[in-house]
Amino acid sequence: MFNTNALNNSSEEYRVAVFFHEVLHAYLAALFVADPSVLPNLPDHDTIAYNYVTVLSLNLHYMYGLDIDEANALAWEGLRETAFWDLRPESIKNNITAINQDHRLGIRGHKCK
């Protein structure tokens, strides 16, 4: 879950990334209830990091014309405690963190009306 105060000045793209992330939590919960055998025994964030970051990145890329690295950074938001995050090289993690901070502060991206 996200702290919604963090969204106050954030870009539209950032808010959409957060929305997708939350929808994935709901989707995974529903999927698991429907068929408990579907998912590996991982926390949601690990499942999202492993299976959905690319899809989420591509959606943000096509929706907003963000370059793929910027879209990928937004897709990683909220997933820093995962093992898959830990596998990223330090320079990439720093870049992702900086991009997300800029979007959270509204320095990058479209301003919400």
Residues near Zn ion (CB under 5 A) are 78
Question: Closest CB to Zn ion belongs to which residue?
Answer: 78
Quote the least distance from Cβ 95 to Zn ion, whole Å. 21
Exposed / middle / buried, residue 47 (Cβ in 10 Å: 0-12, 13-18, 19+)? buried
User: Residue 48 or residue 66: which is nearer to Zn ion going by CB?
Assistant: 48
Task: In angstroms, give the least distance from the CB of 1 to Zn ion.
Answer: 6
Q: Is the dihedral of CA 82, 52, 100, 44 positive or negative?
A: negative
DSSP conformational letter for 87: T
- Spell 31-42 as b/e; 16+ CB within 10 A means b: eeeeeeeeeeee
Work out how close the CB of 25 gets to Zn ion at its nearest, in angstroms, rounded to a whole number. 5
Of 78 and 109, the one with the shorter C-beta distance to Zn ion is: 78
Phi/psi for 65 (5° steps) reads 65, 20
Q: For residues 50 and 110, which CB has a smaller minimum distance to Zn ion in the complex?
A: 50
CB of 101 to Zn ion, least distance (A): 18
Beta carbon nearer to Zn ion, 42 or 110: 42
